[in-house]
């Protein structure tokens, strides 16, 4: 199945989406995506009619606003992109840097789409001041306007009238989730969480995230999390604690690009954690959970 995707986005779960969907319910009332990125999982679900409604959220406000434009004002966005793309005719590199500087001043989401389509491998990068600083790909001129328009319109047809787009802290989104929802989370890649990293506007504290998952468990909500992985013998990130009682599944993500460049045959495996409530529904058996010892309060 071909699922439309207007722009590349490093870390997107587009390729893994069919595998991840095997661990989500066949149908739910609403899919909640608190770390949406390019909304690859939402689009994969919508293309297969796996949910009635969708909630897309990303803390990166221009990204969230761009997704909202794609869904609700597709013609306007496609027209704007075509004009920006045609501006490359005289000097493509100078044009990119001019628009990048303008985006950093204005945070205009229409400019962000052009930058994402034109930058190296769709890899978002920010400097220490939160300014977009990725360079243009000198080998190509980005998605042609005709193709971009087709992708934008296809996404709009899938999600318009059924989707809410926000830019909130993930904890606020989780607090507002309801029992009928299914939550899929793809937070900032571990190894960067809790620290300043050029790929994210903000890091994510491991401890804060674990507390949030514990709260979801206490409410009996259904969720799945993509959170760590490994390439060969190298592991990325700390596993989520066993006391959460999550079922752990490893998904084959394909040959590592970095390893290929180094002449090694190594494959990347990504982890998917499944909540107790969701595991019980889909028939995956989680490990026996043991609670973290609770420190008794001192009386004196």
Helix boundaries (H) for the chain: 17-20, 40-47, 61-72, 74-86, 92-106, 109-118, 145-159, 170-176, 206-218, 257-261, 276-282
Q: For position 201, what pLDDT does the model report? A: 52
Per the model's pLDDT, the better-predicted residue between 262 and 50 turns out to be 50
Residues 6+ apart with CB under 8 A from 107: 61, 62
Can you tell me the mean pLDDT for 250-277?
71
Q: Reduced to 3 states, what is the DSSP secondary structure of residue 283?
A: coil
> Could you read off the pLDDT of 110-126 as tens digits, one per residue?
999 999 999 998 788 89
- pLDDT, one tens digit per residue, over 234-253 is 777 788 999 999 999 999 87
* Amino acid 99: pLDDT: 96
Find which of 131-140, 153-162, 186-195, 234-243 is predicted with most confidence, using mean pLDDT. Answer: 153-162
Higher pLDDT, 290 or 250: 250
In whole angstroms, what is the distance from residue 272 CA to residue 120 CA? 28
Q: How far apart are CA 23 and CA 292, in angstroms?
A: 27
Tell me what pLDDT residue 189 has. Answer: 61
- Residue 202 confidence (pLDDT): 57
Compute the mean pLDDT over every residue in the chain, rounded to the nearest whole number.
87
Using the predicted structure, report yes or no on whether residue 283 has a pLDDT greater than 70. yes
Domains of the chain with bracketed CATH: 70-151 (1.10.1020.10)
Cβ neighbours around 1 below 10 Å, total: 7
Higher pLDDT, 154 or 264: 154
Q: What is the mean pLDDT of residues 282-299?
A: 54
260 confidence band (pLDDT: 50, 70, 90) = very low
pLDDT-based confidence at 199, cuts 50/70/90?
Answer: very low
- Of the candidates 48, 37, 46, the residue with the CA atom closest to the CA atom of residue 13: 37
Check if the beta carbon of residue 273 is closer than 8 Å to that of residue 216.
no
Question: Rg for the chain (alpha carbons), in Å?
Answer: 20
Could you read off the pLDDT of 37-69 as tens digits, one per residue? 999 999 999 999 999 999 999 999 999 999 999
For range 127-132, the mean pLDDT: 90
In this prediction, residues 134-161 reach a mean pLDDT of 94
Percent pLDDT > 90 in the chain is: 66
pLDDT tens across 78-112, in order?
999 999 999 877 788 999 999 999 999 999 999 99
**pLDDT beyond 50 at 193:** no
């Amino acid at each position: 199945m071909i699922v439309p995707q207007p722009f590349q986005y490093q870390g997107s779960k587009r390729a893994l989406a069919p595998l991840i969907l095997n661990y989500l319910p066949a149908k739910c009332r609403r899919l909640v995506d608190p770390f949406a990125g390019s909304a690859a999982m939402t689009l994969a679900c919508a293309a297969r009619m796996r949910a009635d409604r969708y909630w897309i959220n990303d803390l990166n406000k221009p990204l969230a606003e761009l997704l909202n434009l794609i869904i609700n004002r597709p013609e306007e966005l496609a027209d704007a992109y075509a004009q920006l793309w045609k501006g490359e005719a005289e000097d493509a590199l100078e044009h990119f840097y001019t628009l990048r500087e303008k985006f950093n001043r204005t945070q205009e989401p229409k400019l962000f789409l052009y930058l994402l389509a034109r930058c190296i491998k769709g890899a978002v990068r920010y400097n220490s001041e939160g300014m977009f600083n990725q360079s243009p790909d000198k080998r190509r001129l980005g998605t042609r306007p005709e193709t971009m328009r087709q992708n934008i319109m296809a996404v709009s047809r899938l999600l318009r009238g059924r989707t809410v787009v926000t830019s909130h802290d993930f904890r606020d989104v989780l607090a507002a989730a309801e029992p009928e929802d299914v939550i899929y989370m793809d937070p900032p890649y571990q190894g960067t969480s809790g620290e300043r990293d050029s790929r994210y506007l903000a890091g994510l504290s491991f401890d804060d995230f674990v507390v949030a998952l514990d709260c979801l468990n206490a409410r009996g909500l259904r969720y799945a999390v993509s959170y760590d992985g490994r390439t060969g013998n190298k592991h990325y990130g700390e596993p989520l604690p066993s006391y959460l009682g999550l079922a752990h599944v490893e998904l084959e993500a394909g040959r590592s690009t970095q390893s290929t460049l180094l002449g090694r045959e190594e494959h990347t495996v990504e982890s998917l954690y499944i909540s107790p409530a969701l595991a019980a529904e889909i028939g995956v058996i989680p490990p026996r959970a043991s609670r973290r010892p609770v420190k008794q309060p001192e009386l004196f």
